[in-house]
Amino acid sequence: RLMQIEILYFGRPSENLKLSHETVNLPAGISTLGELLAWLCLRGDHWAQELTEARIKCAINQEFSAWDAQIKDKDEVALFSPISGG
């Protein structure tokens, strides 16, 4: 069955993609963060450039997560540039 997730953007990708959040319906076959990222990169060169794994960190439900982490229905996924607080 299809999964619907919320994606939040922070830092550089949020600014460059002019997007702070969106709700997306995931197509079949997307079940990890890495797969989600690859799928988002299909949106165009600008996306592919912003969302390479090397430039992005992510969290699922407000926990830092690795690219092989599983996504579940209703998850809150955040994509952001490396953190730099303090």
Partner 1 sequence: MSVSIQHEDFDAGAVMAELRATSNNVGAVVSFVGLVRDSSYDEKVENILVEHYPGMSENALNKIIAEAKTRWDLLAVKVIHRVGRLGPNDQIVLVATASSHRGHAFSSCEFIIDYLKTDAPFWKKEVTQQGGEWVVTKDSDVQRMERWNTGK
Instruction: Tell me which residues touch partner 1 (CB under 8 A).
Output: 8, 10-12, 14-15, 59, 62, 64, 78, 80-86
What does the alpha-carbon distance between residue 50 and residue 86 come to, in Å, rounded to a whole number? 24
What does the alpha-carbon distance between residue 72 and residue 31 come to, in Å, rounded to a whole number? 8
Between residues 48 and 59, which has the closer beta carbon with respect to partner 1? 59
Between residues 29 and 82, which has the closer beta carbon with respect to partner 1? 82
Give CA angle at 65 (8, 52), nearest 5°.
Answer: 65
CB of 83 to partner 1, least distance (A): 5
CB of 4 to partner 1, least distance (A): 20
